[in-house]
Chain A
């Protein structure tokens, strides 16, 4: 689990003018808010994660302990129209791929009955390396 990873992903999206021209920064969120009522919006949540120490993690000096972290992140794009969800997804993908070791592994189109909006659920796998 890494809060940093989710914040980092949000940072990539917020620093892209292609993304923020479609979704305001204030509506790119990490974790579910109590009320989600502004659209379009992007929600970043973590669904799985693994952390693995490299060879010699325990014997390396502090600051040089190599650890790989693989995070599975869910990106929910909410919008009033289906086309809007596609347009947003199309600008999100290249931003996240360009961010580093990130790949999209799943993509589902949904309609959210509770919120009455279109929803595009994408899942990304993201690898981060740490020098603990």
Chain B
């Protein structure tokens, strides 16, 4: 993994799907379709602390892993793809899960950070409308529902092996 890039080199794909199925067609599922201007992916690892009765100090160990993130879109269901809205409002059948994948850069010859998360749930869809100088955008939060299945291999963060 090497190289310094900016957001204009990134890719993001978002597609809703039913449980146990994989998205095979990413046509009209990319960042341009949704008008994504910001994207973040956060990986949290907690810690566990236990008192050691009668002994000095406490016992620490790894706690739970969680993956969540957020993004903004300026193209909504009527003009773009409605997977995000369908996921949070309908949330069943073909919209039960959302696959969110992407990469820092698609430049050839280098390995950049990638993610392929097939068990995402949209947890928040917040549309904000401002004045004439403010782009109308929606802020969206998502969480990965199966962090126990997430692994990391040469630049790829994925839970797809158990999809």
Name A residues whose Cβ lies closer than 8 Å to a Cβ of B: 53-61, 64-66, 68, 97, 100-103, 125, 127
Whether B31 lies near A125 (C-beta < 8 A) is no
Q: Which residues of A contact B11 (CB under 8 A)?
A: 56, 59
Count of residues in B whose CB is under 8 Å from the partner chain = 20
8 example contacts (A-B, Cβ-Cβ < 8 A) are as follows A54-B36, A55-B7, A55-B36, A56-B10, A56-B30, A65-B32, A66-B35, A103-B132
B133 at the interface (CB under 8 A from A): yes
Q: Which residues of B contact A53 (CB under 8 A)?
A: 8
- A97 to chain B: closest residue by CB: B132
Q: How far is the CB of B102 from chain A (nearest CB, A)?
A: 9
Q: How far is the CB of B80 from chain A (nearest CB, A)?
A: 11
Whether B7 lies near A60 (C-beta < 8 A) is no
Whether B133 lies near A59 (C-beta < 8 A) is no
Whether A55 lies near B31 (C-beta < 8 A) is yes
B12 at the interface (CB under 8 A from A): yes
Whether A55 lies near B10 (C-beta < 8 A) is yes
Whether A56 lies near B8 (C-beta < 8 A) is yes
Whether B8 lies near A54 (C-beta < 8 A) is yes
